[in-house]
Amino acid sequence: MLTHALLLLTLVAPDARLIDTISVDAVMGHLRAFQSIADRHGGNRAAGLPGYDASADYVAARLREAGYTVELQPFTFEFFREIRPALLKGRRAFKGVTTLRFSGSGDVTGRPVGAGDGCQAADFGRAARRAVGVVSRGSCSFRVKAEHAARAGVAALVVANQRGEQGTFKGSLVVPQRLPVVGVSHEAGRQVLRQGGVRVVTRTRTDRRTTRNVIAQTAATSPGRVVMAGAHLDSVPEGPGINDNASGSAALLELAIRLGRTTPERPVRFAWWGAEEQGLIGSKHYVARLSERQRERIEVYLNFDMIGSPNHTYAIFDGDDSDKKGAKAGPPGSARAERYFQRYFDARGLPHHGTDFKGNSDYDPFLKAGIAVGGLFTGAGDLKTAEEARRYGGTAGRAKDPCYHEACDKLANVNEKVLEATSNAMAHVVSKYAWPRT
């Protein structure tokens, strides 16, 4: 009887076993495709630009070949791009001037007027009208400073870095502004104030655009809640985004292709998010459109953003808050996801550590909606500590991804061994949910 049942099982579903390994060569093949897409479309795959659309077409085509019905979920977002580097000129041109995200375009000349940190409307006195406002970074958002400046009739705003900070900085005004807003070093800010007049030139472009999430789901042999796995498919406009985040996208695609050949017990839903780099727009849109019932049907959301960093660590989201840092524990079920990843790395003798939910990737809308979350992350622009170098190898004092958000985030920026480990961890953990009794 038992042997009959077993025989039947193997006949009906010869492949109905969990997928525990995926080929890193296949993942690298998708990564090369994303690199070549960026090469053919101006060096990036950013949302709202042709490199993103080509990336979405690539994922959708591979999914359809694997038998999926693909959903392209459209949504709009505020597209921003710096068209030309900012110019700031007094008696001579300043170096290291950054255009803040959502700065307006303009070419203005005016007298520099200091306005403290610009966090109070009164910081910009009458003298600020048509002048170039100079404020220090900190105490309130860039947006508040810019809005106070605009209301006072300031022609352009220069934000100087805080005392003790080296060089300039990047930042976002969050909502589009008419006023040109640039960032400079602390020292440059002091020098600007010593000029009789300064010229500020920014060339930016802001408009509402439509882009798409790519979504597909497997069949299932028994009904039950859905396991979701996602990766953002867009890059920043500055580069091809191969570690951030063709790495997660490629691994997810290969897992979807493999799962397309079997029928798991529980449905697996895959999502490639658009416009993550513009503020998690695609994943926020997706979660906002779920009904309460649909939300409850998602057992867990697993996030894969930057999983092949060249100077890596293996960070697993701290679902149970055992690290007692920052955000509290994730929604119920998040601890289980963390444990599954930990066990995978432990079983292979690979080091790992917890990382806090900081709200800066696509798991955040799920977490805020009370859905269990988990996932992997191998490091961005933050420097590797001596302790991390001891545990993981690599170089202390160097960024985990020195090409983070830069033009050099190319194929050569990805550590294939790291990507092999994380891709397989992804396959393993998704399979644990998809075949809950194994």
Least distance to Zn ion, CB of residue 405, Å = 6
Residue number, 16 or 399, with CB nearest to ligand PHE: 399
Give the integer Cα–Cα distance in Å for 421 and 341: 11
- Whole-angstrom distance between the N-terminal and C-terminal Cα of the chain? 22
Give the integer Cα–Cα distance in Å for 206 and 101: 10
Give the integer Cα–Cα distance in Å for 215 and 273: 9
Q: Does 381 bind ligand PHE (CB under 6 A)?
A: no
Which residue from 270, 301, 314, 377 is in contact with ligand PHE, where contact means CB under 6 A? 377
Residue number, 248 or 260, with CB nearest to ligand PHE: 248
Element (DSSP H or E) covering residue 293: helix 292-296
Which positions from 262 through 291 interact with ligand PHE, judged by CB under 6 A?
276
Q: Does 306 bind ligand PHE (CB under 6 A)?
A: yes
Whether residue 239 contacts residue 43, with contact meaning beta carbons closer than 8 Å, is answered with yes
Q: Does 193 bind ligand PHE (CB under 6 A)?
A: no
Q: Which residues contact 101 (CB under 8 A, 6 or more apart)?
A: 80, 170, 171, 172, 173
Residue number, 230 or 260, with CB nearest to ligand PHE: 230
CA distances from 192 to 35, 108, 235 (A): 41, 14, 34
Which positions from 303 through 332 interact with Zn ion, judged by CB under 5 A?
305
Q: Does 380 bind ligand PHE (CB under 6 A)?
A: yes
Look at residue 40 and give its three-state secondary structure: helix
Whether residue 352 contacts residue 273, with contact meaning beta carbons closer than 8 Å, is answered with no
Least distance to ligand PHE, CB of residue 381, Å = 9
Least distance to Zn ion, CB of residue 169, Å = 17
Which residue from 103, 217, 361, 415 is in contact with ligand PHE, where contact means CB under 6 A? 361
Residue number, 55 or 262, with CB nearest to Zn ion: 55
Q: Which of 276, 277, 299, 388 is flagged as catalytic?
A: 276
What stretches of 266-413 adopt beta strand conformation (E)? 268-273, 298-304, 315-317, 353-355, 373-377
Which residue from 244, 265, 338, 420 is in contact with ligand PHE, where contact means CB under 6 A? 244
Tell me the two tokens of residue 281. 């727009």
Tell me the two tokens of residue 206. 């802001």
The site string for Zn ion over 236-255 (x = CB under 5 A, - otherwise) reads --------xx----------
Least distance to ligand PHE, CB of residue 346, Å = 22
Q: Which does 364 bind (CB under 5 to 8 A by kind): ligand PHE, Zn ion, none?
A: none
Q: Which does 380 bind (CB under 5 to 8 A by kind): Zn ion, ligand PHE, none?
A: ligand PHE
Residue number, 204 or 247, with CB nearest to ligand PHE: 247
Residue 276 annotated in active site: yes
- Bridge pairing between strands 315-317 and 373-377: antiparallel
Whether residue 226 contacts residue 124, with contact meaning beta carbons closer than 8 Å, is answered with no
Q: Does 364 bind ligand PHE (CB under 6 A)?
A: no
Give the integer Cα–Cα distance in Å for 428 and 288: 29
Which residue from 23, 141, 360, 385 is in contact with ligand PHE, where contact means CB under 6 A? 360
Residue number, 244 or 338, with CB nearest to ligand PHE: 244
Q: Does 305 bind ligand PHE (CB under 6 A)?
A: yes
For residue 245, whether the previous peptide bond is cis, meaning omega lies within 30 degrees of 0, is: yes
Radius of gyration for the chain, computed over Cα atoms and rounded to the nearest angstrom = 24
Least distance to ligand PHE, CB of residue 241, Å = 8
Which amino acid does the sequence have at 260?
G
Residue number, 266 or 284, with CB nearest to ligand PHE: 284
What stretches of 285-406 adopt beta strand conformation (E)? 298-304, 315-317, 353-355, 373-377
What is the binding site for ligand PHE (CB under 6 A)?
A: 244, 276, 305-306, 360-361, 377, 380
Catalytic positions are 276
What is the binding site for Zn ion (CB under 5 A)?
A: 244-245, 305
